[in-house]
Structure 1
């Protein structure tokens, strides 16, 4: 008898994707040793993405375009809609995809083998960022996980996530309970990692890149490379966005009652100073731990984002 291939639901959020989406879909449909169905949710676009995807789906039975869902205004809400609306009962695994990357041919195969051999529930990986001028750079997100990193960062780019279906079903149930509050979460990959870790699911971050991560001016969240991009990201902390996201996600995943989280959740000055002393438990990378320590102190002294 032929060996049954694992069934994977790929959830792809699209918006004005005509420059890259065909190349990306070709790389997804070309995955080895898996049975893939791509579900596409499109934020209302101005470049013809809806019509192109409808025509492409008509020629490829493995592509399903969801009905219009209104304006999402960002990838996170679009992905939350996909998780809510796609019926995953017949699938073994769920993967996320952006519209503009290039998947390696064995991306899903390697992820599933890792999930099964390591007996974990969720997978992510490093990626190779690439630019139109030919530059490439490995983005290393595979540092050892820490006690509380999931409340402060994602497990790498969400477009590398491959999740076992039972975990996604549990996450969907929680999302539906907290749907209105969930709409204020800016990064779906951060939330998914936080949900998994806070509910006892095991996560593996693969040091081997699984895809080429396209960098261009339209990236909602791109590669964090160089001093300029690092500064740009961390300036969001001073207007309150980052700490407010930390607080929101902690509450959504039910960690607000934990004694450690409760010791800083109100983000008062003295609580931020105390939190700074736990930097080694809150971020994976050494550079980020140093920045975390400094940001906690700067925020405490300046009093801008602890509100």
Structure 2
């Protein structure tokens, strides 16, 4: 089988401090990607000039470059949507401006797609580093408290049910087939781009995970989306915090996904569509729980006994939240 072509969707916003290292790590891949599409969200520094200079150092061997400049800024999800729409290769690698790809990262992932024509999306773990690339002693999956059973479930073709509990896919680690965009576009405003791509891939085909870290994922003050393992105190504070609007927002997200899956017809297996209907019903149940903690106990414990929290949430962690949170 021929080697698939690769586009890199690189989104930038005032990334001058880190961009040179990232673009260099992308160009140093063997083989390098075919093109880089930069979608810049109203940078006020020399981000684009830094990208151009880094590519110029590689001469004729550098990927082709497309630059899209947004005035005004689009925001993270819309910026990535614009970038991936402009990509022309068979595979699209999502790329943050402040990370660094490990040597061999792209070849490892491209080989997986080449060997598995049914594979739509692939992601990996990442090494957490500080702003100066010093290792922080943990990985992204450790920060997310990813369980071996979750990784095994994804590898066994059960990704959709795993993702119904929580998202495990981080865009900076992700490569997907451009064919996925036919079902995934446009990205809904209620979702982050990487979570949405993963959900659509899991519902319409096969996604998988590589358990090893393949990039350095910087954690610094300017991260728009970062990763850090919560402390026990933070978990307890979250459990007793006011309910606010978060359950209604999660219900809306579940409904948006159900609507998209229903619109895709035979691309989505009936069992998957029914599972999402059940997810919507469970999320509606959580949203409509009474404000009184005392009155919540019976319905929450009954739902837990029926396995709904284990199937659609974080199990007893979510049960405790619904029992303890205020308001």
**Map of 2:198 onto structure 1:** 193
Map 1:1-307 → 2, pairs under 5 A:
5-53=3-51, 56=54, 62-72=63-73, 74-84=75-85, 86-88=86-88, 91-118=89-116, 119-131=118-130, 132=132, 134-140=135-141, 141=146, 143=151, 144-145=153-154, 148-172=161-185, 175=186, 182-185=188-191, 187-198=192-203, 200-227=204-231, 231=235, 238=242, 240=244, 242-254=246-258, 258=274, 259-266=277-284, 267-269=287-289, 273=300, 277-282=307-312, 288-299=314-325, 302-303=326-327
User: Does the CA-based 8 Å contact 2:183-2:200 persist in structure 1?
Assistant: no
Deviation at 1:102, TM superposition (A): 0.8
User: Cα 1:265–1:38, aligned 2, differ >3 Å: closer, same or farther?
Assistant: same
Q: Report the Cα distance in structure 2 between the residues aligned to 1:63 and 1:245, rounded to whole angstroms.
A: 40
Corresponding residue of 2:269: none
**Matched-pair contact (CA < 8 Å) for 1:154–1:189:** no
Instruction: Return closer, same or farther for 1:269/1:148 CA change in 2, 3 Å cut-off.
Output: farther
Spell out, residue by residue over 1:90-132, the C-alpha distance to the aligned partner (whole angstroms, 9 max, x if none): x121110000111012112111222343542210011110124
1:126-182: CA deviation from partner (whole Å, max 9, x where unpaired): 11101245423122246334553324533332111111121233323xx1xxx6xx2
Partner Cα distance (1:229, 1:41) in 2: 39
Q: Distance in 2 between matches of 1:40 and 1:164?
A: 18
Q: Helix, strand or coil for the counterpart of 1:254? A: helix
CA deviations 1:249-288 (Å, max 9, x no partner) are 32332268744124224321179836654233235xxxx4
- Kindly report the root-mean-square deviation, in angstroms, between the aligned alpha carbons of the 2 structures: 3.3
Instruction: Report the CA distance shift for 1:121/1:49 in structure 2 as closer, same or farther (over 3 A).
Output: same
Alpha carbons 1:152, 1:282 under 8 Å: kept: yes
In 1, the alpha carbon distance for the partners of 2:303 and 2:101 equals: 38
Q: Larger helix proportion, structure 1 or 2?
A: 2
Give TM-score, length-normalised by structure 1. 0.78
In the aligned structure 2, how far is the partner of 1:64 from the partner of 1:219? 25
Distance, in Å, in 2 between the alignment partners of 1:11 and 1:122 is 15
**Is the Cα–Cα contact under 8 Å of residues 254 and 280 in structure 2 kept in the other structure?**
no
- In 1, distance between residues paired with 2:236 and 2:15? 25
> 1:232 deviation in Å?
11
Secondary structure of the structure 1 residue equivalent to 2:16: coil
1:230 shift after superposition: 5.7
What secondary structure sits across from 2:123 in the alignment? strand
Return the alpha-carbon distance in structure 2 between the equivalents of residues 14 and 171 of structure 1: 22
**Inter-partner Cα distance in structure 1 for 2:32 and 2:45:** 32
